[in-house]
Amino acid sequence: MASVKRARQKELKNINKEENQENSKVIKRNINIPEAITVRELANRMAEQSSSVIKFLFGMGVTVTINQTLAADTAEYLVKEFGHNPIREEKAEEIIKKIKESRAENLKNRPPIVTVMGHVDHGKTSVLDVLRSSNVVSGEFGGITQHIGAYQIESQGNKLTFIDTPGHAAFTEMRARGSKLTDVVVLVVAADDGVKPQTVESIKHAKAANVPIVVAINKCDLPDADPQKIKNQLLEHELIAEDLSGDTLMVEISAKTKLNLDKLIDAIVLQAEILDLKTDFESKATGIVLESKIDIGRGPVATIIVTTGTLKKGDFFVSGFRWGKVRAIINDKGANINDALPSTPVEILGINGAAKSGDDFIVLDNEKEAKTLSENRAQERKEGKNPLTFATQESAFTDKSTEELNLIIKSDVHGSSEAIKNAVSQIKHDEVKPNIILSDIGMVTETDVTLAKASNAVLIAFNVKPSKEAKKLAENENIKISSYNIIYEVLDYIKKKMSGLLSPDVKETIIGTAQILEIFKVSGAGKVAGSKVTEGEITNVSEVRIIRDGAVIYTGKVGTLFREKNQVKEVSNGQECGITVKDYMDFQKNDTIEAFSKTSTERSI
């Protein structure tokens, strides 16, 4: 009697267990899905075992690990398959984009933001110093740009903001990061020297950023000055002066004697009026980071220029992957201020780490929003690298759109430069093509290295050497400078680099097939497909695909081969054997196991 009672209790216990399991299965959860998510995190959000998610993907022919990152579409499909409700999360970048685009009220004119560029010894620094000393509001001279790296002047009621950069590096870095901060470029050219390599670089960078150029022809006080020669040389670079029926503003100045300084400022103001620079002064501020540093005693300090709205002390903000609360605002004169209007350069205290040059700066409603967006940005960057989609494995060897090999070529003379350009343009291929983003004469400079890094370009020096600074920067940034003095060697090198972008030729050979006759369970090996080899041979290192009703349902590798309970290396045509396949056990009778090999052959141009 006692045994019957115990049996009944056991039966009731099993029934309750099954009911609980059924109840747990019908729980439908709302699952938030970011742009990319790991298998582990997705399983946790669904309250499912990670192994269940991995097993489900295995059944679809997709091999993953617990830390594999899944794309949002893949994660959404899995959530639905597990009986839950997927909710796509909005990306941090999309939220910030909406914030930026929503500011279109209370539009007022703002001061232009000007970058002064030019050849190293043509008087760029002198022009900057003279413009800085012309600040009639402060009457201050010296120590400003050393303090903040940018400054604002006022002349005849017009405010202008100048960015003081050590050449083109910062300008190029910002453009590479998608930050359009500069409104106008002032190109300084010495009247007694002419257009030089760095002058041409300045023009190329300004045009690439689609920024208007005002030319300041400096040193016009010197006896051998020839402004007309400069204007004629600039014609080659599509900069045509107004007195030559063009539309480029050119002013003949002297930084030494302050000749026509007022006309240069008027030209900048006129160009700004043509651009009609307007923005919203009343909204929450946005800006762009010029530079940042860790200051002993003050902590992380970010130098920014406000581009929209009014920045106020106490504002919460996000900048790149950083966030913070504005504890202090310091202007270009070193004074603490309570707010900063558009186009104003300021230092900000209160950021939680060093930001990067070119990072955006967005003021948000509260600390939680700023912190969350910052963390989401960092998480998206961490998880967003090559997320897995169902097409990932299938598209590994499919045709891709045309690849480009970016090139920067510096040569000794203009003739060599043109010869190399013409020869490179003759290299043709359907899948990859050369793209010369800069071809110029003169030594390899820091700007070239920075541009190579920003554009992932191959840097070639033909009959020229890199400067000491460029060589050091290239070493630090792991950028290779390839030096040549024979043109065909340059072309061979470019073809070799282009060949590296080509997908290899993959040839597949069927080496054997087997028919599954029975399924066995073997301790330690799991499910074993009892099979008969019908063609060729199967080896214990073969790649195989499982074919059912004419469709491939899984592709993988042989795990173990058995012959009469013994492991063997190969099984030939007509012999029976047991086969296990790595990470796959869903065999069925009459499935076909097809063994194949693949050989890859590198292609060349």
Over residues 295-347, the pLDDT tens digits come to: 777 888 888 999 888 999 999 999 888 899 999 999 888 889 999 999 999 99
Token pair 């949002």 in the structure block, residue = 72
Which regions of the chain carry the CATH code 3.40.50.10050? 403-499
pTM for the structure as a whole: 0.53
- The type of residue at 152 is Q
The CATH classification number of 505-601 equals 2.40.30.10
Residues of the chain with CATH 2.40.30.10: 286-383, 505-601
Summarize pLDDT for 411-447 with one digit per residue, the tens: 876 667 777 888 888 888 878 889 888 887 788 988 8
Residues 110/343, Cβ–Cβ less than 8 Å = yes
**What is the topology classification, in CATH, of domain 111-276?**
Rossmann fold (3.40.50)
Beta strand pairing call for 213-218 and 184-190: parallel
Return the pLDDT at 393: 42
Q: What is the DSSP letter of 504?
A: P
| DSSP letter string, 251-284 | EE-BTTTTBTHHHHHHHHHHHHHHHT-EEESSSB
| String of DSSP letters for 302-344 | EEEEEEESBEETT-EEEETTEEEEEEEEE-TTS-EESEE-TT-
**How far apart (Å, rounded) are the C-alpha atoms in residues 449 and 458?**
10
For residue 183, give the 3-state DSSP assignment.
coil
pLDDT at 13: 54
Which CATH fold topology does 286-383 show?
Elongation Factor Tu (Ef-tu); domain 3 (2.40.30)
In the numeric block, the tokens 């600039």 are attached to 234
Cβ 435 vs Cβ 382: under 8 Å: no
Residue (of 456, 392, 390) closest to 81 by Cα position: 390
| Position 95 confidence tier, pLDDT thresholds 50, 70, 90 | low
Tokens standing for residue 312: 């106020």
Q: What is the mean pLDDT of the chain?
A: 80
Task: Give the whole-angstrom CA distance, residue 338 versus residue 334.
Answer: 13
Task: Say what angle helices 446-455 and 197-208 make with each other, to 10 degrees.
Answer: 30
In terms of Cβ atoms closer than 10 Å to its own Cβ (0-12, 13-18, 19+), residue 430 is exposed
Nearest CA-CA partner of 78 in 45, 100, 103, 110: 45
User: Band of the pLDDT at 372, cuts 50, 70, 90?
Assistant: confident
How far is residue 118's CA from residue 63's CA, in Å, rounded to a whole number? Answer: 55
Q: Say what the pLDDT of residue 407 is.
A: 92
The CATH homologous superfamily for domain 403-499 is Translation initiation factor IF- 2, domain 3 (3.40.50.10050)
Phi/psi region, residue 415 (left: phi>0; alpha: psi -120 to 50; beta: rest), is alpha
What percent of the chain clears pLDDT 90, i.e. is strictly above it?
A: 25
Percent of the chain at pLDDT exceeding 70: 82
Task: Calculate mean pLDDT across residues 268-294.
Answer: 87
Q: Is the pLDDT of residue 384 over 80?
A: no
